[in-house]
Amino acid sequence: MQSFAAKTVVITGAGSGLGREFALLGARLGMRLVLADVQQEGLKQTEAAAVALGAEVLSQNCDVRRGEQVESLAQSALERFGVIHLVFNNAGVGAGGLIWESTQQDWEWVLGVNLWGVIHGVRLFTPIMLASEKADPTYQGHIVNTASMAGLLTPPAMGVYNVSKHAVVALTETLHHDLSLIDSTIGASVLCPYFVPTGISQSETVRPADTKPSEHPTRSQQLSQAMLEKAVTAGKVSAAEVAQMTFDAIRARQFYIYSHPQALGNVERRMQDILQARDPGDPYEQAPKLREQWRSGLLEK
Distances (CA, A) of 225 to 129, 204, 207: 39, 10, 14
Query: Whole-angstrom Cα distance, residue 196 to residue 7?
Result: 27
Q: Which domains does the chain have, with CATH numbers?
A: 8-299 (3.40.50.720)
Q: What angle do CA 283, 118, 78 make, to 5 degrees?
A: 155
The predicted pLDDT at position 202 comes to 72
Q: What local confidence, expressed as pLDDT, does residue 230 receive?
A: 75
Instruction: For the chain, 301 residues long, give each residue's pLDDT as a single digit of tens.
Output: 889 999 999 999 999 999 999 999 999 999 999 999 999 999 999 999 999 999 999 999 999 999 999 999 999 999 999 999 999 999 999 989 999 999 999 999 999 999 999 999 999 999 999 999 999 999 999 999 999 999 999 999 999 999 999 999 999 999 999 999 999 999 999 999 998 877 776 777 778 888 887 788 888 888 888 877 777 777 789 999 999 999 999 999 999 999 999 989 999 999 999 999 999 998 888 778 878 888 887 876 5
What are the φ and ψ backbone dihedral angles of 126, each rounded to 5 degrees?
Answer: -60, -50
Taking the C-alpha atoms of residue 133 and residue 241, their distance in angstroms, rounded to an integer, is 30
CA–CA separation, 116 vs 64, rounded Å?
Answer: 7
8 Å CB contact between 197 and 263: no
State the pLDDT at residue 160. Answer: 96
The closest of 81, 91, 85 to 56, measured between CA atoms, is 81
pLDDT at residue 154 in the model: 94
pLDDT at 295: 80
Residue 197: what pLDDT? 74
- Cα–Cα distances in Å, from 99 out to 43, 108, 245? 32, 14, 33
Active site residue 161: yes
Residue of 139, 161, 256, 284 with catalytic role: 161
- Count Cβ atoms within 10 A of the Cβ of residue 215 and give its class: 0-12 exposed, 13-18 middle, 19 or more buried: exposed
Bridge partners (DSSP) of residue 191 are 146, 257
**Euclidean distance between CA atoms 231 and 235, whole angstroms:** 6
For 10-21, the DSSP string reads: EEESTTSHHHHH
Check: CB of residue 238 under 8 Å from CB of residue 197: yes
State the Cα–Cα distance between residues 153 and 283, nearest whole angstrom: 9
Q: Kindly report the pTM of this predicted structure.
A: 0.94
